[in-house]
Amino acid sequence: MRVLILAPIGRDARLLAGTLASLNMETAIAPDAKALLAMLPEGIGCAIVAEEALTPEAIQALAAWVEAQPPWSDAPFIILTSSGRPTRESHHRAVGLQALGNFTLIERPARPDTIQSSVRTALRARMRQYEIRSRQEALIRANADLEQFAHSASHDLKEPLRSIGIYSELLSRDYTGKLDRSGSEYLAFIQSAAKRMNALLSDLLSYSQVSSDAEETAEHVSARGPLEDALENLGCAIGESEAQITVGEMPAVRMHASHLAQLFQNLMSNAIKYRKEEVRLLIRLSARKAEGYWIFSIADNGIGIPPAHRETIFGIFKRLHANGKYPGTGMGLAICQRIVERYGGRIWVESEPGRGSEFFFTIPA
Ligand code: ADP
């Protein structure tokens, strides 16, 4: 990490370089603001700048560089001010300097140990920032590896599964009557397990396919269209359950229509699946705006969710019921959560067991 120095008075620059050399710090001297700007992209530990070098144009150019830095970066500037009373000009400059974000003022003549301790503190802070950057990069790599793994695993496992499905189908067709009761029963178990595994893998594949660039490539869509697609896909289930569905005003949001349709579909199909036998199923969909987000709500009067499970149900393959009563893979809500988080929103549920659940998800407005 280099310490960049911009001090038009050669005496200052030499004094600073000498003070820092005794600390074994690499320094580079910039003759003017333009040269300093050119040095910044090569990597900066911190920059020490004499205030007389900071013309309004130089401050503007530095601020533009700071603004363009990635979120982990907060490059430290140490500004050497002149001694004496504050003037209008010095006040003006101090206000302009705010745009640099991370800056410290040191009054001249500064003692060498004042400069050394300020530089040491600045470099420590900068070191932390670089550490955060490498951790972030490692996390992004690990995430991409995991996504690739989930995708390949779910994709490649389908192939042998298809063979299991085909051959057990052939067995049951060509060996009817040749297998005894236990044999036929075992075969039926194999077939239903293969079907279930196929459903699990399909859902895992959809989960891994919710791409990480969803937000950047999204366009404005009216939520009405995706909602109607979801209602159409669930037509049979809605008809069978005789659900009564009410829909409030739906806004336009910046999302891929297929993602929004999947959210509505997964949440409504759960409302249908986890309904109560004894009452008419009511599903209420609405949206309202608050604090820069659209908050969508899907409320039902179904069996509800015990408080202890209101967070765990969003996990991969997490289910609260055995397969017999309510079929499913435990991936529906995990997919919803992944979609919503890709757009910078969140999803949660409020529920009263035995009385119903209300799922909420937010999308930036
Ligand atoms: P699946 O429905 O396949 O089990 P989900 O991820 O969609 O998977 O849901 C996870 C669990 O959350 C379900 O097993 C169920 O117990 C609970 N759940 C989800 N939606 C509702 C709802 N509307 N009412 C009651 N329970 C629900």
Quote helix, strand, coil % in the chain, to nearest 5.
55, 20, 30
| Burial readout 71-109 (b: 16 or more C-beta within 10 A, e: otherwise) | eebebbbbbbbeeeeeeeeeeebeebbeebebbeeeeee
Q: What's the 321 CA to ligand 1 centre distance in angstroms?
A: 8
Strand extents, DSSP E, 62-176: 77-81, 103-107
Place of tokens 């590896």: 145
Q: Measured over all CA atoms, what is the biggest interatomic distance in the chain, rounded to whole angstroms?
A: 105
Q: What's the 276 CA to ligand 1 centre distance in angstroms?
A: 14
- CA dihedral of 100, 103, 108, 111, whole degrees rounded to 10: -150
Chain centre to alpha carbon of residue 63: 28
Q: Is the dihedral of CA 213, 216, 217, 221 positive or negative?
A: positive
pTM above 0.75, yes or no: no
d(CA 211, CA 297): 24
What per-residue confidence (pLDDT) applies to 10? Answer: 80
What per-residue confidence (pLDDT) applies to 144? Answer: 85
Which residue's C-alpha comes closest to atom 18 of ligand 1? 270
- Interaxial angle between packed helices 112-174 and 181-209, expressed in degrees from 0 to 180 and rounded to the nearest 10: 150
Least Cα distance to 259 among 296, 289, 310, 286 occurs for: 296
d(CA 189, CA 350): 37
Q: What's the 330 CA to ligand 1 centre distance in angstroms?
A: 7
Residue 153, amino acid: A
Q: What's the 301 CA to ligand 1 centre distance in angstroms?
A: 14
Chain centre to alpha carbon of residue 217: 15
What per-residue confidence (pLDDT) applies to 94? Answer: 83
Tokens of 136: 């972030």
What per-residue confidence (pLDDT) applies to 330? Answer: 94
d(CA 345, CA 294): 9
Per-residue pLDDT of the chain (365 residues; tens, 9 = 90+): 899 999 888 888 888 888 888 888 888 999 888 999 999 888 889 999 998 888 889 999 999 999 999 989 999 999 999 887 888 888 888 888 999 999 999 998 888 899 999 999 999 999 999 999 999 999 989 888 888 888 888 888 999 999 999 999 999 999 988 999 999 999 999 999 999 999 999 998 888 888 766 777 888 999 999 999 999 999 999 999 999 999 999 999 999 999 999 999 999 999 999 999 999 999 999 999 999 999 999 999 999 999 999 999 999 999 998 777 898 999 999 999 999 999 999 999 999 999 999 999 999 99
Q: What's the 55 CA to ligand 1 centre distance in angstroms?
A: 62
Q: What's the 269 CA to ligand 1 centre distance in angstroms?
A: 9
Mutate to test the pocket of ligand 1, among 310, 311, 313, 340 (most ligand atoms within 8 A of CB): 313
What per-residue confidence (pLDDT) applies to 18? Answer: 86
What per-residue confidence (pLDDT) applies to 205? Answer: 87
Mutate to test the pocket of ligand 1, among 303, 333, 351, 361 (most ligand atoms within 8 A of CB): 333
Characterize the bridge pairing of strands 347-352 and 244-247.
Answer: unpaired
What single-letter DSSP state applies at residue 82?
A: P
Cβ atoms of 129 and 74 within 8 Å: the answer is yes
Which atom of ligand 1 is found nearest the CA of 333?
Answer: 6
Place of tokens 């009557």: 177
Cβ atoms of 230 and 270 within 8 Å: the answer is no
Going from the C-alpha of 182 to that of each of 167, 178, 186, 189, 288, the distances in angstroms are: 18, 11, 6, 11, 57
Cβ neighbours, 10 Å, residue 313: 20
Residues 6 or more apart whose CB falls under 8 angstroms from that of 293 comprise 345, 362, 363, 364, 365
Which atom of ligand 1 is found nearest the CA of 335?
Answer: 6
Alpha-helix runs per DSSP H in 175-248: 181-209, 224-233, 235-241
